[in-house]
Amino acid sequence: MRGMREGNYQSKHRHTRSPETGGTLAAFVAYGMWGLFPLYWKQLKHVESMQILAHRILWAAVFCLILMLVWKRFSEIGKLLRQKRKFFIVFLASIVVTSNWGLYIWAVNIGRVVESALGYYINPLVSVLLGALFFKERVDPWTKLAVALASLGIVGAAVLYGSVPWVSLLLAVTFAIYGALKKRVGIEPLISLAVETFIAAPFALAFLLSRQATGAGAFWNAGAPTTILLVMAGVVTAVPLFFFAQAANSISLQKMGFIQYVSPCGQLFIGVVIYGEKPTAALLMAFAGVISAVIIYVFTRKRSVGSPG
């Protein structure tokens, strides 16, 4: 009898934990893929950033459209359109993530991979703040110390730069806001991603047609390899966002922030080791503050990382 009770408890426990486990795995997949993104976008450095962004939006929308047709999910978009508050949040998410994509592509292609990586080191700490402000997630003293250290690093970098490291900060803030919006709207990942890309796709298509009409379009004109990379940018964009949306619906923003360090570590390695970028004194100052914050945050998460999100 006792064994049966224990078996039932373990079965129930596994059942209640499965959404969080799936969300955690989804977060690792999403951030792992994003950590490799510089390798992809660098192959398109001969294409202007706005065209890459437009192709990324357009082909992501096409990819989502195909999935919606195959799985017959269009009726769910109609339901979302009737929920004005949720649709407005998805609309805002579309604007924010598009801005983030454009800034990131531009930064990578002009040789600012390391500065971009710094932005994604800062981003989890912004997510912690948003989690506390909007989702009432508890912020313990260690987390406050981590945020304070990261802030000192950014201030130090600004002093050495003579200006604020705006690329890093904008990347951090826009993606943190995107994560918070995804968590707030709480709808099925494919539907959310499809609507986000459908909103932006007409503008992307209009821009690309105008560039093609003037002969400045990269599609086809720049050769088959470039054209294939531009088309595949839709899949490369949509797949990690799909996993990200699943994670955002399942785990806390604090846990998302912890896992997110997979991405900037990959970007930093690629920028320094593969592309030979040399961090400036200002970036080193910022990294010192942020990485100190990461160490404190990670090693004080023994209990919270394993708890339900």
| 163-210 pLDDT, tens digit each | 778 898 999 999 899 989 988 888 888 898 899 999 999 999 999 999
* C-beta atoms surrounding 140 within 10 Å: 14
* C-beta atoms surrounding 212 within 10 Å: 15
Helices 2-35 and 224-248: angle between axes, nearest 10 degrees:
150
| pTM of the predicted protein model | 0.77
pLDDT at 89: 94
Cβ contact 105:41 at 8 Å = yes
53-67, 129-143, 168-182, range with the lowest pLDDT: 129-143
pLDDT at 302: 57
Token pair listed for 303: 């209990």
pLDDT (average), residues 116-126: 81
